[in-house]
Amino acid sequence: MPYSLDLKKKIVAAYEAGKTSIRKVAKHFMVNQKTVERLVNQLTNHSRSGLIITAILIGISAYGIDTIADRLLLGNISGRGYESLATVRTQVLKMPVGASLAGYTKRIINEHPIAIEIENTNSSGHKWYNGTWFNDTPYTQKPRLNVYSTTSDNVLKVDAGGRLMSVSPILVPGTLPLLPGKDGFYIEYEYRLSNNHPDHFSAVWLLPFEWKYSSGDGWGSGGLGPTQPKTSRLNSLDAYYPDLYPDDPLGYTRYMELDVDESGFGPGLTGTIHSWGSINTNNIADGAFNLQNPNKVSPNALDRTQYHKFGASYNPINQTVSWYLDDIFQFTGIAPAVPLVGKRQNFYLLIWNQTHGANVPYSMYIKSVRAYTTRTSTIPEV
pLDDT digits 0-9 by tens, 258-291: 999 999 999 999 999 999 876 654 444 455 678 8
Find the largest Cα–Cα distance for the chain. 70
The band of 373, judged by pLDDT with boundaries at 50, 70 and 90, is very high
Read off the amino acid at residue 144.
R
Q: What distance in Å separates the CA atoms of residue 351 and residue 203, rounded to the nearest whole number?
A: 6
378 has a pLDDT exceeding 50: yes
Q: Is the four-CA dihedral 120, 122, 185, 318 of positive or negative sign?
A: positive
Where are the alpha helices (H) located in 202-260, listed in sequence order?
Answer: 233-240
Cα–chain-centroid distance for residue 205? 8
The band of 249, judged by pLDDT with boundaries at 50, 70 and 90, is low
DSSP-derived letter for residue 169 is T
Read off the amino acid at residue 279.
I
User: What is the per-residue pLDDT for 122?
Assistant: 87
User: What is the per-residue pLDDT for 298?
Assistant: 93
User: What is the per-residue pLDDT for 177?
Assistant: 98
Q: What distance in Å separates the CA atoms of residue 171 and residue 213, rounded to the nearest whole number?
A: 10
Average pLDDT over residues 340-350: 94
359 has a pLDDT exceeding 80: yes
DSSP-derived letter for residue 46 is H
DSSP-derived letter for residue 144 is P
Residues comprising the chain, all counted: 382
Q: What distance in Å separates the CA atoms of residue 274 and residue 152, rounded to the nearest whole number?
A: 37
* SS3 of residue 17 by DSSP: helix
135 has a pLDDT exceeding 60: no
| Contact between residue 181 and residue 343 where contact means Cβ atoms under 8 Å apart | yes
| Contact between residue 81 and residue 355 where contact means Cβ atoms under 8 Å apart | no
Q: What distance in Å separates the CA atoms of residue 315 and residue 335, rounded to the nearest whole number?
A: 11
Cα–chain-centroid distance for residue 81? 22
Neighbours of 59 (CB within 10 A): 21
Q: What distance in Å separates the CA atoms of residue 366 and residue 189, rounded to the nearest whole number?
A: 8
Neighbours of 175 (CB within 10 A): 11
Q: What are phi and psi of 163, to 5 degrees?
A: -145, 120
Each residue's pLDDT tens digit, 83-123: 454 555 555 557 898 998 898 989 999 999 999 999 998 89
Q: What distance in Å separates the CA atoms of residue 58 and residue 56, rounded to the nearest whole number?
A: 5
User: What is the per-residue pLDDT for 217?
Assistant: 35
User: What is the per-residue pLDDT for 186?
Assistant: 98
The band of 79, judged by pLDDT with boundaries at 50, 70 and 90, is very low
DSSP-derived letter for residue 297 is B
DSSP-derived letter for residue 270 is B
345 has a pLDDT exceeding 70: yes
- Single out the residue of 205, 237, 119 nearest to residue 170, CA to CA: 119
77 has a pLDDT exceeding 50: no
